[in-house]
């Protein structure tokens, strides 16, 4: 993205104008569930695109208005030692999953449970299950529509003395559940993504922030009153705790140097390591991580630089590899233990920039020198040493460390890392301060500062891609979808959808209409006792696999079973476990016997082929809707 600094403010304003246009459509949606789905979608727009908005009075007021109708009339069976953490999802990669893990393990005085609002069909990471089990708590999975989930959450949460919100940014379920005037259990929101918009601020009794910088930003950029914005460090400062090591940080150092051999890292050369998601290395005005690395490695034959996280197949990382003659390379996403092991073998760790990711804490744990170029100053004083103020200082200091000419000294002002006992003591004080729910609305604030300008350049492309992947699954009325498309097409400067041309959305709308026609045709065929299974048998097809186990996938399963068709596997990357009488298989499952794979989703057949590669190289992928069309044509001809 080639921008000048003068462009960025204007583009952020355009982002805001565009999202605000979509927000105005909410009042046109009469059906409550559809309205809630759309509010969550608008929250996603605000969270994925930098607009200068970090909280929204209008959206939360509407959520709370609906939530106030869900009065909790049950009993409160509260145990003072029982705490409920509310999460949307958890993954083995996620930083907020580490927060939950460490929080539960450090606070051994209390029993912790977790309620997931959107994880009915996905596998909870083993380390989360183990932490909850060791604590004596339970894992709850909410199901159904938004209102149903809110009611379930109220019933679950009524047994706990405190509620910790650790949800995704556009999760509306906590607002619906805890905005009723009758709600009594205190709600504490942990601000784990300071740089993003989020829901939940109007139902939280207090906002707990990771850093002093975040405490101030919550007040000044989210409009939260100062007495409600509090500091509570990331438990164990970001390093995941392993149940086998008790209070100690997890020890991921591999025996010997096997990890270096695995990733073709030369053990005879000095090793610099960095780690972070791809977008955190994006170029911004005047700052380029890849250019810095290329310049640093020029004329250095005894130094290599590996970057954990980014995809090597991306053009800029391929170019870096070529420019440096292979001395710098991206390794892609690695399992946590492998990533930590590589860091432990490094001679120096350089934090990702322009946006800083995790990893410095791991380097600090292993005694590896580290350097931090913190453009916004968010982490100032958080680590004991290693701060630099410019790219030139970063390069000079790096060279001195590699030559062992400089030993990094502790800075004068150091944000002290709390021990387990000290952290729990801080947590105790917070818990004691809140015994009854009494939240308040935040102020209406929109601000653009240095961090927003940097984040726009880092997040715009990835945010647009996220929205593009999700927008097709949003369950909203077609009339609103048409208005949504119309708004996109009528914008004078279509910044929000500069990468999402209108043909895409019109195609999506047409597909929705096409699917509806197919379902109608399928229903007519069923009424006349014409089944897909019988049609396939006539074609000599006796064994199939199904891609997608939503409503269409389940209906197809029932149809095929009645005809005696063998179902080899049902594949869905968003679900695990079982549905009805058949196992759900994960993405990538090898298909051995099936003649065809029937696609019941909106994912293109070509994309499925790319995702699967050799696992389905000899199997034809057929759209369910194409099959229904062919059967209908034959039936009508008869």
pLDDT tens digits for 252-264?
444 457 889 999 9
Is residue 590 helix, strand or coil? coil
CATH of the domain at 383: 3.40.50.2000
Q: Is the pLDDT of residue 560 over 70?
A: yes
Q: Residue 138 — left, alpha, or beta (φ > 0 → left; ψ -120 to 50 → alpha)?
A: beta
DSSP conformational letter for 137:
-
Asked if 619 and 528 count as a contact pair (C-beta separation under 8 A), the reply is: no
Query: How does residue 465 score in pLDDT terms, banded at 50, 70 and 90?
Result: confident
Asked if 565 and 607 count as a contact pair (C-beta separation under 8 A), the reply is: no
Looking up tokens 């916004």 gives: 376
The pTM score is: 0.72
Question: Domain check: are 207 and 287 in the same one?
Answer: no
Judge whether 2 lies within some domain: no
Mean pLDDT, rounded, for 272-286: 92
Q: 637, 638, 622, 631: which is closest to 525 by C-alpha?
A: 631
Per-residue model confidence as pLDDT tens digits over 576-590: 555 656 777 766 677
CATH of the domain at 527: 3.40.50
Element (H, E) at 60: helix 57-67
Structural domain count of the chain: 4
Q: What is the pLDDT of residue 73?
A: 78
Judge whether 354 lies within some domain: yes
In terms of residue numbers, what domain contains 357? 258-402
Q: 344, 333, 360, 348: which is closest to 397 by C-alpha?
A: 348
Which parts of 345-407 fold into alpha helices (H)? 360-366, 391-402
Question: Domain check: are 353 and 314 in the same one?
Answer: yes
Q: What is the pLDDT of residue 541?
A: 93
Mean pLDDT, rounded, for 470-480: 68
Q: Is the pLDDT of residue 286 over 50?
A: yes
For residues 376 and 516, which has the higher predicted lDDT (pLDDT)?
Answer: 376
d(CA 65, CA 482): 27
Percent of the chain whose predicted confidence (pLDDT) is above 90: 53
Question: Domain check: are 367 and 221 in the same one?
Answer: no
Judge whether 119 lies within some domain: yes
Query: How does residue 202 score in pLDDT terms, banded at 50, 70 and 90?
Result: very high
Question: Domain check: are 148 and 272 in the same one?
Answer: no
Is residue 398 helix, strand or coil? helix
Which residues have C-beta within 8 Å of that of residue 181, sequence separation ≥ 6?
A: 68, 71
Direct distance between the N- and C-terminal alpha carbons of the chain, in angstroms, rounded to an integer: 58
Question: Domain check: are 385 and 456 in the same one?
Answer: no
Question: Domain check: are 32 and 144 in the same one?
Answer: no
CA atoms within 13 A on the CB side of 446: 14
Residue 599 pairs in a beta bridge with: 547, 623
Judge whether 530 lies within some domain: yes
Which residues have C-beta within 8 Å of that of residue 535, sequence separation ≥ 6?
A: 627, 630, 631, 634
Instruction: Give per-residue burial for 223-238: e unless 16+ CB within 10 Å, then b.
Output: bbeeebbbebbbbbbb
Mean pLDDT, rounded, for 410-434: 80
Q: Which two tokens stand for residue 563?
A: 């005809």
Question: Domain check: are 586 and 451 in the same one?
Answer: no
Pseudo-torsion of CA 603, 608, 611, 617, nearest 10°? 180
Q: Which two tokens stand for residue 25?
A: 């459509």
Of 390, 411, 433, the domain-final residue: 433
d(CA 279, CA 107): 34
DSSP conformational letter for 175:
H
Query: How confident is the prediction for the chain on average, in pLDDT?
Result: 85
Question: Domain check: are 186 and 91 in the same one?
Answer: yes
Of 74-78, 257-261, 304-308, 591-595, where does the model show the most confidence? 304-308
Query: How does residue 111 score in pLDDT terms, banded at 50, 70 and 90?
Result: very high
Question: Domain check: are 115 and 27 in the same one?
Answer: no
Judge whether 64 lies within some domain: no
For residues 247 and 391, which has the higher predicted lDDT (pLDDT)?
Answer: 391
Judge whether 171 lies within some domain: yes
Question: Domain check: are 622 and 483 in the same one?
Answer: no
Judge whether 115 lies within some domain: yes
Query: How does residue 506 score in pLDDT terms, banded at 50, 70 and 90?
Result: low
For residues 468 and 36, which has the higher predicted lDDT (pLDDT)?
Answer: 36
d(CA 173, CA 144): 12
Query: How does residue 543 score in pLDDT terms, banded at 50, 70 and 90?
Result: very high
Classify residue 212 as exposed, middle or buried by CB count within 10 Å of its CB (0-12, 13-18, 19+): middle
Is residue 31 helix, strand or coil? coil
d(CA 5, CA 11): 10
Q: What is the pLDDT of residue 174?
A: 98
Question: Domain check: are 223 and 343 in the same one?
Answer: no
Per-residue model confidence as pLDDT tens digits over 287-346: 999 999 999 999 999 999 999 999 999 999 999 999 999 999 999 999 888 999 999 999
Question: Domain check: are 135 and 223 in the same one?
Answer: yes
């Amino acid at each position: 993205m080639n921008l000048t600094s003068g462009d960025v403010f204007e583009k952020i304003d355009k982002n805001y104008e565009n999202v605000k246009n979509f927000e105005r459509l909410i009042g046109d949606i009469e059906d409550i569930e559809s309205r809630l789905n759309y509010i969550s979608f608008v929250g996603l727009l605000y969270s994925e695109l930098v607009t200068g908005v970090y909280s929204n009075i209008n959206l939360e007021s509407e959520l709370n208005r609906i939530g106030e109708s869900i009065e909790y009339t049950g009993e409160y069976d509260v145990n003072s030692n029982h705490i409920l953490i509310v999460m949307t999802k958890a993954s083995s990669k996620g930083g907020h999953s580490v927060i939950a893990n460490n929080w539960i393990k450090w606070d051994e005085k209390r029993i912790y449970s977790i309620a997931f609002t959107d994880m009915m069909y996905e596998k909870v990471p083993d380390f989360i299950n183990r932490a909850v089990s060791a604590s004596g708590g339970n894992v709850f999975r909410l199901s159904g529509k938004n209102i149903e989930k809110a009611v379930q959450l109220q019933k679950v949460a009524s047994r706990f003395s405190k509620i910790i919100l650790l949800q995704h940014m556009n999760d509306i379920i906590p607002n619906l559940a805890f905005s009723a005037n009758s709600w009594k259990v205190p709600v504490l929101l942990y601000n784990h993504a300071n740089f993003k918009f989020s829901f939940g601020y109007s139902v939280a009794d207090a906002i707990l922030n990771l850093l002093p910088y975040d405490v101030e930003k919550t007040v000044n950029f989210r409009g939260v009153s100062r007495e409600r914005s509090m500091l509570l460090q990331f438990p164990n400062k970001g390093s995941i705790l392993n149940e086998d090591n008790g209070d100690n940080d997890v020890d991921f150092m591999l025996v010997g140097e096997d990890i270096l051999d695995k990733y073709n890292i030369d053990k005879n050369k000095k090793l610099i390591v960095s780690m972070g998601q791809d977008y955190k290395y994006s170029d911004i005005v005047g700052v380029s991580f890849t250019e810095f690395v290329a310049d640093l490695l020029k004329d250095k034959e005894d130094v290599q630089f590996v970057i954990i996280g980014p995809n090597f197949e991306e053009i800029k990382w391929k170019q870096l590899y070529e420019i440096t003659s292979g001395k710098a390379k991206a390794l892609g996403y690695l399992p946590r233990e492998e990533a930590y092991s590589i860091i432990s073998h490094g001679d120096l760790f350089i934090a990702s920039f322009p946006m800083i990711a995790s990893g410095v804490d791991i380097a600090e744990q292993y005694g590896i020198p580290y350097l931090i170029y913190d453009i916004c100053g968010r982490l100032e004083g958080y680590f004991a040493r290693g701060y630099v103020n410019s790219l030139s200082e970063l390069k000079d200091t790096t060279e001195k460390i590699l030559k062992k000419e400089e030993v990094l000294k502790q800075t004068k002002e150091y944000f002290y890392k709390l021990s387990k006992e000290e952290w729990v003591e801080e947590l105790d004080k917070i818990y004691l301060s809140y015994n009854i729910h009494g939240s308040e609305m935040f102020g209406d604030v929109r601000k653009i500062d240095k961090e927003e300008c940097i984040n726009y350049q880092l997040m715009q492309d990835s945010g647009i891609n996220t929205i593009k992947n999700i927008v097709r699954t949003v369950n909203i009325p077609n009339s609103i979808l048409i208005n949504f498309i119309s708004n996109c097409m009528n914008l004078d400067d279509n910044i929000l959808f500069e990468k999402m041309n209108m043909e895409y959305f019109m195609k999506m709308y047409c597909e929705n209409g096409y699917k509806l026609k197919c379902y109608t045709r399928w229903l007519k065929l069923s009424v006349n006792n014409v089944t897909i299974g019988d049609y396939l048998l006539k074609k000599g097809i006796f064994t199939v696999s199904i891609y997608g186990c939503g409503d269409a996938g389940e209906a197809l399963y029932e149809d095929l079973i009645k005809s005696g068709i063998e179902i080899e596997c049902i594949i869905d990357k968003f679900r695990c476990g079982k549905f009805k009488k058949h196992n759900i298989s994960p993405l990538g499952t090898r298909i051995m016997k099936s003649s065809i794979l029937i696609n019941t989703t909106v994912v293109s057949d070509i994309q499925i082929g790319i995702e699967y590669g050799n696992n389905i190289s000899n199997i034809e992928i057929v759209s369910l809707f194409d099959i229904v069309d062919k059967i209908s044509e034959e039936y009508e001809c008869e």
